[in-house]
Amino acid sequence: MAKNKLSLHYLSLALAIALGALLRFWHLDYKPLWMDEVITAIFSFGKSYNDVPLDVVFPVERLQEVFTFQLGVSCSQIAQNVARYSTHPPLFFCWMYSWLGLMSPLGKEWVEKLRSLPALSGVGAIIVMYFINRTAFTPSAGIIAAGLMAVSPFTVYLSQEARHYTLPMLAVALALLGLIQIQQDLEKRQTVRFWVWLSWAILNSLSFYIHYFCILAFIAQIATLLSLMYWRRANILNKRKIWLALILSISGVTISFLPWLRVIVNHSNRAETDWLAPANFIAPFYQTLLNWVLMVIILPVEEQPLAVAIVCGLFMALFGIWVGWQVFKALQQLWSIPSTHLATLTLLNFSVWVLLEFFAIVYFLDKDITAIPRYSFVYYPSFCALLAASISKQNSKFILLLVGIISCVFVISNLAFQKPFKPEQVAQHMNFEPAVPIMVVMAYRDYQDVALGLSFGLALEPLRESKVAVDKGNFTSVAPSNSPLPASPQFAFFKQSPDFKSVWQQFSQLSIPATSNLNLWIIGPGRKHHDYPQQVRFALKTHCNIDPNQYYRLGVPYQLYRCRNL
């Protein structure tokens, strides 16, 4: 490259990284924590569910004790907690604990700090995507790959989740970079660089301990290598060295995961893995296509008026078809050009093998993982690389980047990729009468329900705090200015064991807080509307009558009871 072109090239890369960082860290604490992020917080703070007050009534402010960083916790202890209470490998949570320890004390900004490592991992993925396409195709294709990764609404959504999706996506991208290097060594250099194979094996080995789905990525990489070795066998020399490197790499990765093998077998049989519904025959195909569309564009369709949802959905579909047609034509060209044929073949191979694994899980294990867009992180790096290489010489790349930026603004503003179970909306429903004291009871079945209840409590606390702050400041509020301040919301977790009746039995042993009336909300995961009785009773002759106008279901049902002292 000429000096001026070289400067412009790296300036473009720096702008892509800066834009990606801005989109990922912008309003990082704007959305409330949802169930899965609460699970991340518990383990990453060095805590476990033993630190959650269960089967007792407590003020909602006490939840902050659960979400405080605990010093002196080892990775081994975190791994034990994860193995016992979760269905995930431990490395992400260990790294999160170390990361949060660097920023301790966390203070009131703890939600933003909790999400900062996934956001930073998302920025790292932008840089790796540049090197993937620079190595596989051209430097300009590398810039476009970095730009697409930076403005993808899908990756911005993942980057603002306090979950282990961007970190394994970064690991998969690094492994793909190693795979491209190996492919080029086999074809162009006719050599085996054992340090490349060693680095590739170590990356894959670490990724197994970050997310179990990285196992799928590793299998797809092995299948891709075997396919390349078969198709290009006439052009490949040093076959013995290649087979030796491949066998040693597979053996090393497998042996490194043996200490956790018993745990993953136990995790696969846990009830927490049964939440994925079986799919009908057709759904996985159109859901996969929808997931591809969401990687490049998303407009407000959730919780919107029907007319807005239809217009936005139609535009997304048409835009997806247009992009698909552009990419299809360009991929044919990449396939036909000798200098880009092998890289295209490698990335396509990897993507196809991952998709075949996804469909095998859907149809043979009866778990429709295609219904969950976030799981597409396994093959998004290869998808992004092929998309960028396809459009790198077309004017459509500017349209794609612009649409991506607009889509990211919708994601950041909580108009797209909204949090499951909508904790903020549940909290607003429960706080519809701010002057009346509140008690919330989570009738939990397992620890995931406990995490869900905690997310509702965390969303409710600031609403009640703002009410108290308004009253203390003598501003206009719902309650009369001379009325006493409402008591702190009370919270309780009661076990549904063996069924929902046990929850009502525990109620009969409770005394109502010292107030003449109370809004009692019962959250009953797995329950139907008819499971809620017309009346429940506390001790000391306190009756609570059902309010038929205050029943909701946002993922889980919750019902209001109005309680009065007799």
d(CA 371, CA 115): 24
Q: What is the pLDDT of residue 429?
A: 94
Tens-digit pLDDT profile for residues 123-174: 999 999 999 999 999 999 999 999 999 999 999 999 999 999 999 999 999 9
Residue that is written with structure tokens 């902050």 in the block: 64
d(CA 441, CA 536): 13
Q: What is the pLDDT of residue 394?
A: 86
* Per-residue b or e along 11-45, where b marks 16 or more CB atoms closer than 10 Å to that residue's CB: ebbeebbebbbebbbeebbebbbbbbbbbbbbbbb
User: 3-state DSSP call for residue 165?
Assistant: coil
Q: What is the pLDDT of residue 464?
A: 67
Residue that is written with structure tokens 């490949």 in the block: 236
Which residues have CB under 8 Å from 141's CB, separation 6+? Answer: 133, 134, 388, 389, 392
Report domain extents, the chain.
69-412, 423-472+485-565
Q: What is the pLDDT of residue 477?
A: 35
* Per-residue b or e along 240-279, where b marks 16 or more CB atoms closer than 10 Å to that residue's CB: eebeebbeebeebbeebbeebeebbeebeeeeeeeebeeb
* Per-residue b or e along 157-192, where b marks 16 or more CB atoms closer than 10 Å to that residue's CB: bbbbbbbbbbbbbbbbbbbbbbbbbbbbbbbeeeeb
Nearest to 454 by CA among 71, 38, 65: 38
Token pair belonging to 52: 């959650």
User: 3-state DSSP call for residue 243?
Assistant: helix
Q: What is the pLDDT of residue 457?
A: 94
Q: What is the pLDDT of residue 475?
A: 33
Whether the CB-CB separation of 299 and 416 falls below 8 Å is answered with yes
Token pair belonging to 463: 């609403």
For 369, other C-beta atoms within 10 Å of its C-beta total: 21
Q: What is the pLDDT of residue 311?
A: 97
- DSSP designation for 511: B
d(CA 99, CA 113): 9
3-state helix, strand, coil in the chain (%, to 5): 65, 10, 25
Q: Is the peptide bond preceding residue 525 cis, with omega within 30 degrees of 0?
A: no
Q: What is the mean pLDDT of the chain?
A: 90
Token pair belonging to 195: 């340090």
Strands (E), 481-541: 490-495, 517-523, 535-538
Q: What is the largest CA-CA distance in the chain?
A: 90
Q: What is the pLDDT of residue 543?
A: 81
d(CA 453, CA 95): 26
DSSP codes, 376-396: GGGTHHHHHHHHHHHHTTSTH
Which residues have CB under 8 Å from 197's CB, separation 6+? Answer: 182, 245, 246, 248, 249
Token pair belonging to 217: 């990525």
Which residues have CB under 8 Å from 329's CB, separation 6+? Answer: none
Nearest to 323 by CA among 386, 379, 252: 386
d(CA 221, CA 208): 14
Asked whether the whole model's pTM tops 0.75, one would answer: yes
Q: Which residues pair with 556 in a beta bridge?
A: 554
Tell me how far CA of residue 131 lies from CA of 18, 224, 273, 305, in angstroms: 17, 20, 36, 43
- DSSP designation for 477: -
Instruction: Kindly give the parts of the chain with pLDDT less than 50.
Output: 468-485
Token pair belonging to 417: 């990729």
